[in-house]
Amino acid sequence: MQSVCVFCSSSQGLDPAYTEAARSLGRTLAEANIRLVFGGGHVGLMGVVSNAPLEAGGEVIGVIPRSLVERELAHAGLTDLRIVGSMHERKAMMSDLSEGFITLPGGTGTLEEFFEVLTWAQLGEHEKPCGLLNVAGYYDPLLAVFDHMIDKGFLSESNRALVLVESEPERLLWGLERYQPLKTAKWIDRSET
């Protein structure tokens, strides 16, 4: 694996464990010679996760919409900063530049990015691994929602298996590197339509 996209927040959150996990993830990527692709900001967990590999001599590509550059949120010290016209273009380029995805704790924007690439995986648009870094149990409620979706017939076990979950960056990266996409003949049971 040569590049991983990390989705994360422009805030650091309230638990210092989130910041430490972002720093650890950035260092881990640099140590494994894996390029970080992220949203291009210098604030919050985005700033933390991108600074760590830069300090370790790693490569970091940021992708940011022009509107956020104009608000002075762009990270000026990256290996490569790509400026795009919209959030849609940002997500498409981040996906194109990456071989897998890791999601740190974050809010609705972070989850929106995660769910978009997860949905693309479900639809067969890509076969890249999608991981959640479940720092200090942050994603436990979301994992419970996934279980609820399965119980109520809205999420298949095979689609749930597309989500890799670990609490340590090294273990999640190990899982991403060994990920084998599931091959399913169909994703909708036609007998129910």
Domain membership of residue 86 (yes or no) is yes
Q: Which two tokens stand for residue 146?
A: 């996934």
Domain membership of residue 188 (yes or no) is no
Domain membership of residue 27 (yes or no) is yes
Span 157-185, mean pLDDT? Answer: 92
Kindly report, residue by residue over 175-192, the tens digit of the pLDDT: 999 999 877 655 555 555
pLDDT for 182 equals: 77
pLDDT for 17 equals: 98
pLDDT for 129 equals: 98
Kindly report, residue by residue over 74-113, the tens digit of the pLDDT: 999 999 999 999 999 999 999 999 999 999 999 999 999 9
Q: From CA 3, how far away is CA 117, in angstroms rounded?
A: 15
Domain membership of residue 105 (yes or no) is yes
Q: From CA 125, how far away is CA 141, in angstroms rounded?
A: 27
pLDDT for 148 equals: 98
Domain membership of residue 193 (yes or no) is no
CATH number for the domain harbouring residue 13: 3.40.50.450
Q: How many domains does the chain have?
A: 1
**Which pTM was predicted?**
0.94
pLDDT for 133 equals: 98
Span 126-134, mean pLDDT? Answer: 97
Cα atoms found within 13 Å of the Cα of residue 117, Cβ hemisphere only:
30
Kindly report, residue by residue over 15-55, the tens digit of the pLDDT: 999 999 999 999 999 999 999 999 999 999 999 999 999 99
Domain membership of residue 37 (yes or no) is yes
Range of the domain at 50: 3-179
